[in-house]
Amino acid sequence: MKEEQHPPRVIEIGDGASIPDPSDTRLITAWSVSFAGAVAAVFFLCVFYPDPYWTIMKFLPDGIIITFKITILGILAAIPIGFATGLGRLSGNRVINLAASIYVEVIRGIPLLVQLCFIYYGLGRVVRMPDLMAAVTAMAICYGAYMGEVFRAGISAIDRGQTEAARSLGFNRTETMLLVVLPQAWRTILPPVGNEFIALLKDTSLVSIMAMTNILQRGREYASRTYEVFETYLMVALLYLLITLLLSKGVSLMEARLNYYGRK
């Protein structure tokens, strides 16, 4: 008797935070316990041990602003790059397809830290860019490659019949992509895009090598002045944890909203 064949199970692992399941309505979940624990830890330390923990918290806001500025600008630049790369990977033109594939393979094969050093220090010998522009450029180039695979997979998941139906109604390729394919693909694309957004925020810690005053760099400055290394990096870690947990919950809520309207 022939053994029944089952499709291989796909294991999805991302660099960002774990996105909470929108359908999980339980009060006690991994997300809620983690978030409550982080908030309680910050509250306890700042109230009962204000020196140094509350002092450290007051020292970090400038770094939070820079961190979010790099993250938002980086993701806004990475999304169109990723969209163009995804279309290139799906293109029937062999030259475009090859160029997009080479970009993905090369960029994903080089660590982001190396890319930051190359753009800021290496290219800086030829074209000197401001710190913020260099950081955003490196983030956009790196995450554009990852976004390209996200868009490719999301667009490929849409049934070809949708495209054929749109073309039969007189839509051109651009209208078909923007009005038919992307609205449906976005429900599939949103969770991994949100995951990459969170991963990018965490990777902004790497720009401290450029002496940019992000959260980690502000923590390093405080630790170098006071030698309170453990306390400083504990607060930096808790702050990153709180931000990533809040963002992951935001992505989960957006996914739930898209699923709700998709069923209507």
Give me the pLDDT at residue 7, please. 41
**Residue 203 · residue 47 · CB < 8 Å:** no
Q: Which two tokens stand for residue 31?
A: 């997300």
Give me the pLDDT at residue 148, please. 93
Give me the pLDDT at residue 4, please. 46
Please state the CATH superfamily assignment of the domain spanning residues 32-263 in this structure: MetI-like (1.10.3720.10)
Note down pLDDT in tens along the chain; length 264 residues. Answer: 344 444 444 334 455 556 776 666 777 888 899 999 999 999 999 999 999 999 999 999 999 999 999 999 999 999 999 999 999 998 889 999 999 999 999 999 999 999 999 999 888 788 888 889 999 999 999 999 999 999 998 888 887 777 778 777 778 777 787 778 888 888 788 888 888 999 999 999 999 888 788 999 999 999 999 999 999 999 999 999 999 999 988 888 887 777 666 555
**Closest to 154 (Cα-Cα) out of 196, 131, 184:** 184
Phi, psi dihedral angles at 6 (to 5 degrees)? -115, 145
C-alpha–C-alpha distance, residues 31 and 19, integer Å: 9
Give me the pLDDT at residue 219, please. 93
Q: Domain locations in the chain?
A: 32-263
Amino acid symbol at 251: V
Using DSSP, how many helices (H) and how many strands (E) does the chain show?
11, 0
C-alpha–C-alpha distance, residues 167 and 170, integer Å: 5
Phi, psi dihedral angles at 60 (to 5 degrees)? -95, -15
